[in-house]
Amino acid sequence: MQSQNDLEEQLEECKQKLQELERLKLVEESVTVGLREEGFSEKAIELFRYRKNFLTQQDPLKDEADAIGSFTGACGDQITTYLKLRGDSIDDAKYTTDGCPGAVTSASALIEMVKGKNINEAAKLVVKDVIEFLKEGSTGLPRNMWDCCGIAIGALRQAINNYRRTS
C-alpha cells in the first residue's frame, strides 16, 4: 500500500507533466498558425504536425528495408527514404529528415504518394507532382520551400537506384 507521501509525490509529478503538455500545446498552436500564415495547406500542416511516415528508432523497417536512399539539398537539409518492396511494388515506405517544415512535409507527402505504387511509376514522380499533392485552393507548400520536394524526390530516386543495383 502506498503512503500518503508517495501519493503526493506522484500527484506533483503528474501536475508537472500536465504543465509541460500544456506548454507544448501552446507551442504547437503557435507553429500551426505560423505555417498557415506562410501558405501551408491544411493537408501540409497535418503531414508536418503528425510526422506521418516518419521512421522511428523502433520501426522494424529500419532494419528490414529493401532499399535506402539519401539526398542532401543545397540548404543542408537531408532526407533518407526507406523502402520495403513486394515484387516491384512499394509495400511500405518511411523517411527520416533533419530538415525544415518544408522537408518534413515534402518527404511525408511523397511517401504517401508512393505506397502501393510500382517502383517504375514511383521513379517517374517529379517535384510538381508533390507540389500538386499538397495543394488545396490557394495554399499548399510555399514556393520558397519547393526545393524541399526536390530533396524528397532525390532521396526516393537514390533508394530506387540502390535497389536496382542490388537486385
Q: What is the pLDDT of residues 127-164, one digit of tens each?
A: 999 999 999 999 999 999 999 999 999 999 999 999 99
Q: For residue 27, what pLDDT band results from cuts at 50, 70 and 90?
A: confident
**Structure-block grid coordinates of residue 10:** 506522484
Measured CA to CA, the distance from residue 165 to residue 8 in angstroms comes to 61
Query: What pLDDT is attached to residue 137?
Result: 93
The strands making up 89-97's β-sheet, listed across from edge to edge, are 67-72, 78-86, 89-97
Which phi and psi (to 5°) does residue 82 adopt?
A: -120, 125
Q: Kindly report, residue by residue over 66-95, the tens digit of the pLDDT.
A: 999 999 999 999 999 999 999 999 999 999
Task: Collect all residues with Cβ–Cβ distance below 8 Å to 120 and sequence separation of at least 6.
Answer: 88
In contact, 94 and 58? CB cutoff 8 Å: no
Beta carbons within 10 angstroms of residue 106's beta carbon: 35
